[in-house]
Amino acid sequence: MIKVGIVGGTGYTGVELLRIFASHPEASVQAVTSRKEDGMPVAEMYPSLRGRVDVAFSSPDKARLTDCDVVFFATPHGVAMAQAPELVAAGVKVIDLAADFRLQDVAAFEKWYKLPHSCTELLKEAAYGLPELNREEIRKARVVGNPGCYPTTMQLGFAPLLKAGVIDASHLIADCKSGVSGAGRKAELSLLFSEASDNFKAYGVSGHRHSPETIERLSKLTKDKVGLLFTPHLVPMIRGMHSTLYARLTKDIDNAALQALFEDAYKNEPFVDVMPFGSHPETRTTRASNMLRLAVHRPDNGDTVVVLVVQDNLVKGASGQAVQCMNLMFGLEETTGLLQVPVLP
């Protein structure tokens, strides 16, 4: 049984990890940290876990994280890199759901996250936690940087096209929307019900910190320079993410061959569903699951390919993907504990 520790268990990604581990047959949560809630049973804060999770929150100094086999950081940026060296030295694997180990470009990290990187040696060996594109590195890793939710959709949507060399890599467009839970569990004016409900807005138009992460990873799939125009939006729903991706075709390819690029790329991927050409995937078809669904379009049979991608931002976009990585790191079937059917309606 894999002994699991969770640092930062009071947020949305933390409780999502707890929900997944409540039915994971090969892992047991040993410690969940929270300074403020030290001693409070987890199920008291999250009644949905009553009868399934019997641990209590503990302050970090009491948690004995070095006795765990793997520790997940569901924390703000900067926390994992401060604690990872001690854990790794003790033989504990680390999976960070924040950005500390996503970007190999330290200067880019410090620019976008406004933090000095204090753990550059571990960063050099950290694996990027997107299994569909980086599976073998994850298997061998001691430290994994879990991808951002938006970058997951953009990479899996653009990857088959870039690998095949059929699009202009220098002018990729991503028009993306996320539910409010993507901003985390915090008291912030823009996230209040009366502010976010019955409303729709873009943000980060002049630049977003998920752009350098996505460009760095997409650049590994092509010899061409990658240019990405990424615009995120906040939509008035709790969970869900929809990314509409645009790219200009540079090769003569028919629609059947275009569809085949995606079907061949993901035919053995348990958590990527390539829908029939011209389909319209909906966010609710992935709700509370680790499934990502996508569909390919080609308006008017012209030179633009459009890829629609949906996922649950808290599962495949965060905690589910982290558990998928853990399964790989410990030699388990990748799908273990992650076969929940989406909740609909």
pLDDT digits (tens, 9 = 90+) for 167-216: 999 999 999 999 999 877 877 877 788 888 899 999 999 999 999 999 99
Are residues 213 and 104 part of one domain?
Answer: no
Q: How far is CA 317 from CA 17, 129, 179, in A?
A: 12, 11, 12
Contact yes or no for 155/321 (Cβ under 8 A) = no
319 found inside a domain: no
101 found inside a domain: yes
Are residues 166 and 303 part of one domain?
Answer: yes
- Gap between the Cα atoms of 155 and 214, Å rounded: 7
- Gap between the Cα atoms of 275 and 76, Å rounded: 35
- Gap between the Cα atoms of 294 and 102, Å rounded: 24
Single-letter amino acid code for the residue at 140? K
143 found inside a domain: no
Q: What is the pLDDT of residue 167?
A: 98
Domain CATH code at residue 261: 3.30.360.10
Contact yes or no for 60/33 (Cβ under 8 A) = yes
Are residues 156 and 286 part of one domain?
Answer: yes
Give me the residue label for tokens 């959709």: 153
343 found inside a domain: no
The alpha-helical segments, DSSP class H, found in the chain are 12-21, 42-45, 79-89, 106-113, 120-125, 131-140, 149-164, 193-196, 210-218, 255-266, 320-329
- Gap between the Cα atoms of 282 and 269, Å rounded: 20
- Gap between the Cα atoms of 136 and 127, Å rounded: 9
- Gap between the Cα atoms of 27 and 30, Å rounded: 9
Q: How many CB atoms lie within 10 A of CB 33?
A: 25
Q: Containing domain of residue 72, as a range?
A: 2-125
Instruction: Give the tens place of pLDDT for each residue, 109-142.
Output: 999 999 999 999 999 999 999 999 999 999 999 9
100 found inside a domain: yes
Tokens coding 309: 């991608």
Predicted structure pTM score? 0.96
Are residues 216 and 121 part of one domain?
Answer: no
246 found inside a domain: yes
DSSP letter for 49, please. Answer: G
| Total number of domains constituting the chain | 2
Are residues 259 and 119 part of one domain?
Answer: no
Are residues 162 and 294 part of one domain?
Answer: yes
- Gap between the Cα atoms of 146 and 96, Å rounded: 6
Q: Is the peptide bond before 151 cis (omega within 30 degrees of 0)?
A: no
158 found inside a domain: yes
The catalytic residues are: 149
Are residues 220 and 95 part of one domain?
Answer: no
23 found inside a domain: yes
From first to last of the 345 residues of the chain, give the pLDDT tens digit. Answer: 999 999 998 999 999 999 999 999 999 999 999 988 999 999 999 999 999 999 999 998 889 999 999 999 999 999 999 999 999 999 999 999 999 999 999 999 999 999 999 999 999 999 999 999 999 999 999 999 999 999 999 999 999 999 999 999 999 999 999 999 987 787 787 778 888 889 999 999 999 999 999 999 999 999 999 999 999 999 999 999 999 999 999 999 999 999 999 999 999 999 999 999 999 999 999 999 999 999 999 999 999 999 999 999 999 999 999 999 999 999 999 999 999 999 988
Domain CATH code at residue 80: 3.40.50.720
Are residues 161 and 113 part of one domain?
Answer: no
